[in-house]
Amino acid sequence: MTKKSKITYWVATIWLALGMVSTGGVQLFKASEGQGGAEMLTHLGYPIYLLTILGIWKLLGVVAVLIPGFPLLKEWAYAGFFFVMTGAIFSHLATRDPITALFPSLLLLLLTVVSWYFRPPSRRTVSVPSVN
């Protein structure tokens, strides 16, 4: 794995972790304002209790992605992040929100994909050629 790949992985992963912790915290504590809060969830047509579930999953996913070892758990966390972010994007599209409402979810989706793609071999479930 090249130095450039390592830097790309860690920059994307740290930004992903910060984004998921901040939105997960807002959701876990059911904050009423801002992206991902109670107002937004009811606007999208989801029940408020989903905030607790999403908040816990995001925080646990960050732990799974950052801790060493457990490559299969990391795959599940990345998959969860992917599903949550694509679900958020499609929910905004379905409610005909302005395109600007998609940006936070799109950014976290992009960071998820970049972090997953550039992860080091020790964090992969199968041995594949490293990214150069």
Q: Does a structural domain hold residue 124?
A: no
Domain containing 9 equals: 3-117
Structure tokens that stand for 58 in this block = 């995001």
pLDDT tens readout for residues 78-116: 999 999 999 999 999 999 999 999 999 999 999 999 999
Q: How far apart are the first and last CA of the chain?
A: 6
Does the reported pTM lie above 0.85?
yes
Q: Is the pLDDT assigned to residue 11 strictly greater than 70?
A: yes
With beta carbons less than 8 A apart as the criterion, state whether 59 and 28 touch: yes
Q: Is the pLDDT assigned to residue 26 strictly greater than 90?
A: no
Average pLDDT over residues 24-52: 80
Q: Does a structural domain hold residue 42?
A: yes
Q: Does a structural domain hold residue 130?
A: no
Q: Does a structural domain hold residue 127?
A: no
Looking at residue 77, its pLDDT comes to 97
- Kindly state the percentage of the chain with pLDDT values over 70: 91
Q: How many domains does the chain have?
A: 1
